[in-house]
Structure 1
C-alpha cells in the first residue's frame, strides 16, 4: 500500500510546480528581445527602458508619460517593391474598373489597367493621389474597412508569396510587446491612411484603432433612412508625413513621446520632436541592410529613402538598427539564421 503524501511533501510539490510554471516567464524577463542579436541596438533599447522604468533612477518616467511612437511602412513591416497600401489601391482600381469605363482612356488609371509602369511613374505624386482618392473615398468608413480587410486576407506579396500581414517584422513585434509590458503606450504614426492601417494594426501589432495615427481625408456624418454613417470625402484633411507627424502627435496624443522609431527621411521630424523633449529619450531607425532576407536600400531608394535622417542619426547618436547584423530573423514565419544564433 502506498503511504499517503505528507503535508510537507505536498508543499514541496506545489513549490516545484509553481517554479516550473514560472520558468517561461523568467526566461522571457531575462530575454525580452529574443530575435535581436546581442549588439548595440538591443543594448541601448534595454538600457533605456530600464532607466525610465526604475523608480530609483534619475531618469524615471511616470507610466502615463511613457509614450512610444512607430512609423509603419519599413519600420513595422516591409515596404518594397512599393508601399503595400499603394498595391492595395492599384488592385482596387482594377477591381472597380467596370464601374468607371472612362478609366480606360484616362491617366493614371489607364496605366494601372494596362500595367504600364513607365506611364504610372510619369504620373508622379499627383497621379498617385488621384488613385488614392478614387479608391479610398466616396464610401463609408465601414465599407472602406471591409475592402481593406478583404484584400489583406487574400492578397499576396509578388516576391515572397506571403500575405502582407505575414511580412511584419518579428523583432519589432517583440519590441512593442516589451514596451507594453513596461507600461508604455504604443502608437503608430505613419504616412499611410489611418483607415487602412486600422484594418490590421490591432490583430498584427496589438495596437488598437485609437492609437493609430495616419493620413486622413475629410469625413462627413450622414443620417439617412434611420441609419447613421460616416462618409470618406475626396478632400485631404492631413498628410501625416514629415512635419505632419509631430503635428498629429501633438494634436492627437497631446504628449511628446519619449521613444520614436522610424526608417526613412519621412520620420526625421518625428524623431527630432521626440529628441527635443527634456529627460532621457530614445530615437531609433531601422536600416534596411539585408538584401538576402529582405531588401537593402537607403539613400537612393524611391521607396523609404533614408538619407538626411541617417546623417542626423549618426551625428546625434541616435540608434540605427543594422537589420542584417542585429536581427536573428526578419519575419514571424522564419527561423533564426544559423550563423546569427548566439
Structure 2
C-alpha cells in the first residue's frame, strides 16, 4: 500500500502539469484582454505572445527584441469624421484669426472661419499643409507642447461630447498593457504630428514620448536672449505615413518590430515590412465595422481608407479585427 502512494502522487502531479496548469495559464492570459470577445482574433494575439515569450518555444524572442508598433488614428483612437489633429488646427485658426485679418479672404483660412471645413480641405494635402504651417510653426517646441496640453485637456468630440482622450479604444489599451507586461516595447508610429502626440501619449496610452514616431516640422536650435530654445520652422522635416513608416522605424528604432497594428492603407507598408521579417510575426488590422457604437467605413472612406491592406491581409496572414464582433466594448468607461 505504501509503495502505491508515491505513484499516485506522481500521477496527480503529472495530471496537474498536463491539464490543469495550462488551462489556468491560458485563462489568465485571456483575462488580460477582457474587452475582447473570445474568437480567432483574440486567440491569435494570445497565441503569438505565448509563442514568442516562452523560453522553451521554437519561436522565442528575447525581451530586448520584442518590439510592437501601433498606428494612432483609427487604431488607438477615433479618426472620424476627421483626424483629431485637424480639430486642433481648426480651433487654432479660430484663435489666431484676430491677428490675421487677411484670412477673411484667403483660402483655405476663409472657409475654416466660415465653418465650411469640407471646402477648406478641398485643396487636398496642399491646403492641409498650409493650415498646419500657420498653426504649428513659428514658435518654440515648448510653447507648442503647452498649447497641445491645454487643448487636449478640454477638447471634446462634436458627435459624442466626450473628451478626445476618452475616445480611445479600450481593447487596444488592454492590448498595449498586455504586451508591456510581456516585456514588449510598444511604439506609436503615426502619420500624425509627433509633437502633437507626445504631450499626452504616456498619460493616455502608457507609451512614453520617446517611443512616439510621427510626422514632423524642421526644428532649429537658437539662443534667444541667452536662453537656448528649439524653434519650430515652417518647413516639413519628415512624413511618417505609408512608405515613410518603415523608414521612420528604421531611423528612430533601429530594429525591425515583430508585431505591427494598423487600420488603413496608410499602415500597409508598415505591416508588410514588419511581417516580412524572419521568425514569428504578427500583423493586425482594426476594421471599423460598428456603425452603432462607432463608425463603419473602409474602402471608400476619405479618412482611414482600408482597401489595399484589407485585400492583402489574407495573403499575408494578418489578423483582421472586426470591431462589431470582436470587441465587447469600444471606449473606456467615463471617469
Structure 1 length as normaliser, TM-score?
Answer: 0.89
- C-alpha change, 1:135 and 1:264, in structure 2 (3 Å) is same
C-alpha distance after superposition, 1:161-183 (max 9, x if no partner): 00000000000000000000000
Corresponding residue of 2:127: 127
| Distance (Å, rounded) in 1 between the aligned partners of 2:40 and 2:99 | 54
Deviation at 1:333, TM superposition (A): 1.4
Q: How far apart, in 2, do the equivalents of 1:277 and 1:74 lie?
A: 25
* C-alpha distance after superposition, 1:107-161 (max 9, x if no partner): 0000100112342132221111100111111110111111111111111100000
Does residue 1:190 correspond to 2:190, yes or no? yes
- Aligned partners of 1:324 and 1:147: how far apart in 2? 36
1:254 partnered with 2:254:
yes
- The residue that corresponds to 1:338 in the other structure is none
Equivalent residue, structure 2, for 1:301: 301
Corresponding residue number in structure 2 for 1:177: 177
**Residue ranges of structure 1 left out of the alignment (5+ in a row):** 1-24, 335-342
Runs of at least 4 residues off by over 3 Å = 25-30
**Residues 1-342 of structure 1: pairs in structure 2 closer than 5 A:** 29=29, 31-333=31-333
The 2-side partners of 1:168 and 1:116 are apart by: 27
Cα distance per residue 1:184-239 (max 9 Å; x no partner): 00000000000000021010000001000000111000112221110010110100
Contact 2:66–2:257 (CA<8 Å) still a contact in 1?
Answer: yes
> What's the counterpart of residue 10 of structure 2?
none
Is the Cα–Cα contact under 8 Å of residues 275 and 281 in structure 2 kept in the other structure?
Answer: yes
Residues 150 and 281 from structure 1, CA distance in 2 versus in 1: closer, same or farther, beyond 3 angstroms?
same
Q: Secondary structure at the match of 2:285?
A: strand
Q: Displacement, 1:26?
A: 11
- For 1:78 and 1:222, the matched residues in 2 are separated by 37
In the TM superposition, what is the alpha-carbon distance from 1:248 to its structure 2 partner? 0.5
Please give the alpha-carbon distance, in whole angstroms, between the structure 2 residues aligned to 1:26 and 1:139.
51
Query: Aligned partners of 1:118 and 1:329: how far apart in 2?
Result: 31
Tell me how far 1:27 sits from its aligned partner: 7.6
Report how far residue 28 of structure 1 moved. Answer: 5.4
Q: Secondary structure at the match of 1:73?
A: coil
Q: Distance in 1 between matches of 2:280 and 2:204?
A: 29
Residues of 2 paired with 1:38 and 1:261: CA distance? 19
Local SS of the residue matching 1:173: helix
Which string of whole-angstrom CA distances, capped at 9 and with x for unpartnered residues, describes residues 54-84 of structure 1? 0000000000000000000000001000000
Q: What is the aligned-residue RMSD (CA, Å)? A: 1.5
| Cα distance in 2, alignment partners of residues 195 and 118 from structure 1 | 25
Q: Secondary structure at the match of 2:191?
A: strand
2:18 matched to which residue of 1?
Answer: none
